[in-house]
């Protein structure tokens, strides 16, 4: 039986140039079968960037507005009409966090409302391994389809925060803070995140790693150029490529380890097809060409 491999697209990009990012994201979508095979034309779409807190864009705390804007432009140009943007921010509301970052300007340009979540709805997830229910925002549940636009960052508990962890912004309001108490260990928190990703099931994961965050992430680390955009429908495979690029064994990241065990995706090299604009590339070659062995992340075993 032939194994269907998870595709991860790696798009080298050194600057936040809107036109270049637009072209690269379009190319990445084509590698994944095209936007219309991923998202039905009449779907109500929620764009979910990482909006941890109000911060200067240069500090690499939030998903860069140009990446969000370019992706929104592609959707609009492809004829998608029902699009909103939202996140359950660590501090503040969606509208407050994006104000003045440039993301608000892109949303105005493409007529996409930034939505502040107003109400949490208890959502049963009986098949969950770690979590049997979540408190999810009413406005999220009204959408058909989610696109995750994450930021490449380190994380104190999980080593990295990427595609899988970005979904924590689906948990409503103060229930996010409560989750850290409810799932205090790196493993229990990771398993809850896997359940959450399976429950909400984003259709596509995009990662902004043009400038990433190293050190004391996810909020107080240091910006570092990684010069890549990553895309996949498999968040575990995407995060495992991120891990390898920063010379961190992917199985040492709890969300990768449990994500593979629980069937969300794979971190295993032999189960991933890695694509760059020129076509397929081996993991070793990609790491050599685009990796950063000096990236400040916890590699202790």
3-class DSSP string for 134-190: EEEEHHHHCCCEEEEEEEEEEECCCEEECHHHHHHHHCCCCHHHHHHHHCCCHHHHH
Phi/psi of residue 231, each to 5°? -145, 145
Residues 6 or more apart whose Cβ sits within 8 Å of residue 116: 86, 93, 94, 95
Integer CA distances (angstroms), 196 to 4, 33, 132, in order: 24, 25, 10
Q: Which of 210, 231, 201 is nearest to 29 (CA)?
A: 231
Is residue 2 predicted with pLDDT exceeding 60?
Answer: no
Has residue 27 been placed in a domain? yes
Task: Give me the pLDDT at residue 91, please.
Answer: 87
Closest residue by Cα to residue 24 from 206, 240, 203? 206
User: What is the structure's pLDDT at 125?
Assistant: 98
Alpha-carbon distance 196 to 129, whole Å? Answer: 10
Residue 177 has pLDDT above 90, yes or no: no
Query: Is 257 part of a structural domain of the chain?
Result: no
Reported as a single tens digit per residue, the pLDDT across 74-100 is 999 999 999 999 999 988 899 999 999
pLDDT category, 180, cuts 50, 70, 90? confident
Residue 244 forms part of a structural domain = no
Per-residue pLDDT tens for 216-227?
A: 999 999 999 999
In a domain, 252, yes or no: no
Question: How many structural domains does the chain have?
Answer: 1
> Which tens digit of pLDDT belongs to each residue from 126-140?
999 999 999 999 999
Is residue 285 predicted with pLDDT exceeding 90?
A: yes
Q: How far apart are CA 271 and CA 296, in angstroms?
A: 27
Q: What is the CATH number of the domain that holds 181?
A: 3.40.50.11440
pLDDT at 87: 97
Alpha helices in the chain (DSSP H): 18-31, 35-38, 65-77, 94-98, 103-109, 138-141, 163-166, 175-182, 186-200, 235-245, 254-261, 283-290
User: Per residue in 59-77, pLDDT tens?
Assistant: 999 999 999 999 999 999 9
Q: Is residue 220 part of a domain?
A: yes
Question: Does 140 reside within a domain?
Answer: yes
SS3 283: helix
User: Mean pLDDT, to the nearest integer, of 256-279?
Assistant: 98
Q: How far apart are CA 63 and CA 158, in angstroms?
A: 19
The span from the CA of 31 to the CA of 127, in Å, is 32
List b or e across 101-131, with b for residues whose CB sees 16 or more CB atoms inside 10 angstroms.
bebbebbeebebebbbbeebeebebeebebb
CA distance 10 to 280: 10
Its domain, for residue 33, covers: 10-233
Say whether 64 sits in a helix, a strand or coil.
Answer: coil
Q: Is residue 60 part of a domain?
A: yes
What single DSSP character describes residue 114?
B
DSSP state of 5: P
Q: Residue 262 pLDDT > 90, yes or no? A: yes
Does 1 reside within a domain? no
């Amino acid at each position: 039986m032939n194994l269907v491999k998870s595709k991860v697209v790696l798009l080298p990009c050194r600057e936040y140039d809107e036109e270049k990012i637009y072209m690269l994201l379009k190319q990445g979508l084509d590698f994944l079968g095209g936007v219309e095979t991923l998202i039905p034309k009449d779907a109500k779409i929620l764009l979910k960037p990482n909006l941890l807190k109000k911060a200067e864009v240069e500090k690499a705390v939030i998903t860069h507005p140009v990446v969000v804007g370019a992706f929104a432009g592609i959707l609009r140009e492809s004829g998608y009409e029902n699009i909103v943007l939202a996140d359950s921010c660590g501090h503040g509301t969606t509208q407050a966090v994006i104000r003045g970052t440039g993301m608000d300007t892109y949303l105005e340009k493409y007529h996409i409302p930034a939505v502040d979540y107003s109400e949490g709805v208890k959502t049963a997830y009986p098949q969950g391994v770690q979590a049997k229910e979540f408190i999810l925002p009413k406005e999220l549940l009204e959408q058909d389809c989610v696109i995750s636009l994450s930021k490449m960052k380190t994380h104190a508990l999980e080593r990295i925060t990427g595609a899988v962890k970005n979904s924590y912004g689906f948990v409503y309001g103060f229930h996010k803070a409560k989750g850290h108490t409810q799932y205090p260990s790196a493993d229990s928190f990771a398993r809850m995140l896997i359940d959450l990703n399976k429950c909400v099931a984003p259709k596509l994961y995009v990662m902004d790693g043009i400038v990433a965050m190293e050190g004391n992430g996810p909020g107080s680390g240091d910006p570092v150029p990684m010069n890549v955009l990553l895309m996949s429908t498999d968040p575990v495979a995407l995060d495992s490529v991120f891990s390898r690029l920063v010379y961190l064994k992917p199985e040492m990241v709890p969300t990768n380890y449990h994500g593979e065990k629980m069937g969300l995706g794979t971190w295993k090299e032999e189960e991933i097809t890695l694509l760059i604009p020129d076509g397929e590339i081996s993991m070793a070659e990609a790491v050599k060409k685009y990796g950063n062995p000096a990236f400040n992340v916890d590699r202790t075993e």
